[in-house]
Amino acid sequence: MAVVVVESPAKARTINKYLGSDYTVLASYGHVRDLPPKDGSVDPEHDFAMKWQVASDSRKHVRAIAEALKSDDTLILATDPDREGEAISWHLKEALASSLKSGKKVQRVTFNAITRSAVSEAMSRPREVDQALVEAYLARRALDYLVGFNLSPVLWRKLPGARSAGRVQSVCLRLIVERELEIESFRPREYWTVTALLATPRGQEYQARLTVLGGRKLDKFGIANQTAAEMAVQAITSRQLAVLSVEAKPGNRNPSPPFMTSTLQQEASRKFGMGAKATMSAAQRLYEAGYITYMRTDGIDMAPEAVMAARAEIARRFGEDYVPSSPRMYKNKAKNAQEAHECIRPTDMSLSPDRLKLADDQRKLYDLIWKRTIASQMAAARLERTTVDVGSADGEVVLRATGQVVTFDGFLKVYEEGRDDVLGEEDGEDGRLPQIVAGEPAEKRGITPEQHFTQPPPRYTEATLVKRMEELGIGRPSTYASIVTTIQERDYVRKEKNRLIPEDKGRLVTAFLTNFFRRYVEYDFTADLENELDEISAGELHYKDVLARFWRDFSAAIAETADLRIGEVLEKIDAFLAPHLYPPREDGSDPRICPVCGKGRLSLKTARSGGAFIGCSNYPECRYTRALGAANGEDPAAAERLLGEDGGEPIWLKSGRFGPYVQRGEASEDNPKPPRASLPKGWEPEAMDLERALMLLALPREIGPHPEDGETVEAGIGRYGPYVRHGRVYANLPEVDEVFTVGMNRAVELLAEKASRGRGGRAAQTPLRELGEHPEGGPVQVMNGRYGPYVKWQKINATLPRGVTPEAVTLAEALELISQKAQKAGGRKAPAKKAAAGSGAKKTGAKEAGARKKTSGAGKDGD
C-alpha cells in the first residue's frame, strides 16, 4: 500500500478513481507550513536560516497523513508540476520526517493532466524532490519576507496610512500609478480627416479617405484644424476624380497559439470581464476535475499526441480543408524554469463544451480553452485585401478606399482572439468593395470633414496589466493573480468598469518608494531578480548567494531612512508629484496660491486615515482643501460652486479630501466648522442645486414620535448609508432618496423588523435548498448568510468553500462539511457520509468539501 498526497480534495477524488484500492489518497489542503508572520522568521545574520511553522488548520491534515503512514510503506508526493507544487512536496516531507524514519520510501511524481493515462505514466516514473526547484522557492519566499517585514515598517512610520510594500506588488503598483500620471498630464491634440462618398459609373457606392493633399502625403496631423479641413473639402470638390489604381492582394491570417497562464487571464478578462483571481479559480476546478491540463504555465507547446488528437477532431467536425498540411508547432519563448511548460488545453479534444455540465464560470472558461486549442491547429484564414486610389489628374488630391473579404474562414470558424485598447489605432475598413476599374471616373456624392482629438493612453485592465508585467519580466504565471489581487485588497488600487485606478494611498506609496527606494521598484531590477530565481531553479546559482547580495544593499537602503522625518517625506513626495498636483493655470498665476484666501500656499497633506489631499498653509484661518484627484489639469477653484443663498447665508458646493460636499456659510473665527454634508453615493456634483443641498444640510430629518413610546424617529445618512433611527435601534433604508420621503408607518415597520431579529441581527431565513435528512435526524439545508452561503444542520453552520455553489453542493459534501465543523468546534461529531460503492473508507481521507489549493495565500508570491 502507498499513501498518495495531493493538494486538494477535488484532485484527490479524481485521482482516486484511477488508482484503485491499492492506494490511499489524501489531501494536504495546499501548503502545510509557512514562515510565521513575525520578525526573525528569516535570519540574515545566521546564513538566512528560515523558521517554518505548520499552520494551525494544517495540523490535522498532517496528522491524517502520518496516521496513514503507520500501515503503509511508501509516501508518494503528487502535488502540482511547478515550483509551488515542488515546495508543497518538500514541506510535507519535512513535516512528516518523524513518520518516515523506519525505512519508508518517499517518491515524487508529477503529471500535467489528471487523466488515467497521465496519472498511470507518472506513477511508473517516480523521482526525488527537485532540490533546485525547492531552492528557487526558498529564495523567493525569503526575498518576499525580507522586503515585506523590513520595508513595510518604514512605510508605517514615515507615511501614515500606508499598509505594506512588497517586492513585486510595489513594482506592479508603480505601473498603474505611472499610467495614471500619463493620463493626467496628457493634452489632447486636434486633427481632422476628410472622407468622400464615391460611386462607380454603375452606381455602386464606396467610401474613400483623403491621403494626399496639395501633392503631399498627409500624416495623422496633416489637417490640423477646421480651416484646413474646409480647404481640403474645397480642393476635392473643385476637381474631377478618377480611379488611379486598383490593387488586390491575397493574404493569410494564422491562429493564435494555445493558452498559457498570462494569455488565458488576458482573454478571460477581455471576453468575460473575469479578474485574474476568478480566472485561476475556475481553471483550478477544471484541472482538478480532469478536464484541462495544468493551468500555471509559461509554455505554449503542445504534446504531440494532443496535436494529433486536435487535428483528428478538426477533420471530424469541419472537414479535411480545415486541417493544415502539417501540424502547427509553437515555440516557447520563455526561459523560465520555475513553471510547468505545456500549454493549457483540454485533456480530451473530443469533449466539446456542450457535453459538460459545469458552473457558469467554468463553462465559459472551458469553452474558451477548447476553442483556442482547436483553432490553434486549424488552417489559416485566407483573405483578399483590396486598395483603391482615386485622385485628380493634377495629382493634388488622392483618396484611398480599402476593403477586405474572407475567402476561406479557416480557424475563424471556431475562434477569434479579443483585442485590447491600442492607443491611436484607427478601425480599418472591413468588407468587400464593389467592382472598381482603374481609369474609370468616380462620382462625388458627399464629402465629410470630421474632427478628432488624440486620446490618452487607456488605463490598465487586469488583462493588459498582466500582459505588461509579462513583457517586462515581472512576476511569473503562479504569481500574476495574487499580485493583482493584493494591490486591490490593500486599497492601493480600485477597479471601476474593469479598469484599474490608483487610490491616493497607492500614489503616495509609489512616490515614496520611487524617491527613497528607487532601485527596488525599477522594472529592470525586478526582472533581473526573477531571472536569477530562474537560474537557481536550473541549478546555475546558489540561492543563498543571491540572498546575500540582495540583503547587503537592501539593508543599507533601509538604514539610510532611519532619520527621515514625516515632514521631509511629504516635501519630497509633494515635489515629485508637483507637475500633476499643481498644473499651470490659464491666467498664468502661481498654481500653489490658495484660490480661496489668496494668501496661503497649497501643499500635500495626509489624513489620519491615510488619504492624501491638498490643503492651504493658512489653516485654520483658511480651511480650503481639495482631493488629490481634482488636480488633473483643472483650476482648483473650479471645485467650488455657489448654489444660492438661504436666510442670507451662501450655500456652497465644494470638493474636499473625502470628496464633494455642501456647506452653509463660510468658515471664520467665530464659526470655524460651518454645517457640512457629504454628497451621498449616486449623487453627482454636476446635478446639485440649492434645493437638494438644503435637503442634505437639514439631515437628520425628524419623522415624528414613535406610536409606542413617543420617542422621536428620524431618518438620516450615516457611515453605512441611509437609515431610520429610534433610540439605539437603526434600520437601513434601501435607497438614499427614501431618507427624504419615508413616513412613520414604513419607519416603524423597518424598525420592528430590525428589533425582532435574533442575536447578530439575523432574521429567520428561508433555505435556498433542502438537501435531505441527516443520518441522526433533522434536515440539512443550504442557507444564505452574511458571509456567503453555508450548510446548516441543527445548530451547526458550515460555510461553503470557494468554488462550491449552493446549486452544486451535494448532501454527501454537506455532511462532510458539517462533520468537520463539529470536530473543530469540539462539539458532537456528526457522522461522516457512507462510503461510496467501490471506495474504501481509508481513501476518503481527502475531504469532499471541494476546498481548493490555496493559490493566493502563503507561499504564493504576491508581495
- CA torsion angle for 551, 556, 557, 562 (degrees, to 10)? 130
Cα(356)–Cα(519) distance, integer angstroms: 50
Using an 8 Å Cβ cutoff, are 339 and 300 in contact?
A: no
Listing from the earlier edge strand, what are the strands of the sheet with 641-646? 641-646, 649-656, 659-664, 676-678
Cell triple for 384: 483578399
Cα(679)–Cα(688) distance, integer angstroms: 9
Using an 8 Å Cβ cutoff, are 401 and 429 in contact?
A: yes
Phi-psi label, residue 491: left if phi above 0, alpha if psi -120 to 50, beta otherwise? left
Instruction: Report the relative pairing of strands 441-453 and 241-253 from DSSP bridges.
Output: antiparallel
Report DSSP letters for 533-553, one per residue: HHHHHTTSS-HHHHHHHHHHH
Report DSSP letters for 34-63, one per residue: E--SSTTSEEGGGTTEE--EE-GGGHHHHH
User: Among residues 800, 828, 794, 797, which one has the least CA distance to residue 813?
Assistant: 800
Cα(109)–Cα(80) distance, integer angstroms: 9
User: Among residues 774, 792, 777, 782, which one has the least CA distance to residue 834?
Assistant: 774
Q: What angle do CA 790, 795, 801 make, to 5 degrees?
A: 20
Cα(610)–Cα(563) distance, integer angstroms: 21
Using an 8 Å Cβ cutoff, are 155 and 520 in contact?
A: no
Ranges of beta strands (E only) in 587-640 are 602-606, 612-616, 625-627
Q: Using only C-alpha atoms, what is the Rg of the chain? A: 33
Using an 8 Å Cβ cutoff, are 213 and 224 in contact?
A: no
CA 496 to chain centre: 11
Contacts of 608 (CB under 8 A, 6+ apart): 160, 161
Is residue 485 classed exposed, middle or buried when 0-12, 13-18 and 19+ CB atoms within 10 A define those classes? buried
Residues labelled as active-site residues: 294
Using an 8 Å Cβ cutoff, are 101 and 131 in contact?
A: no
Which residue matches cell numbers 449616486?
682
At 585, is the secondary structure helix, strand, or coil? coil
List, in sequence order, every residue forming a beta bridge with 769; answer none if it has no partner: 782
Cell triple for 750: 423597518
User: Among residues 386, 397, 401, 453, which one has the least CA distance to residue 209?
Assistant: 401
Cell triple for 177: 500609478
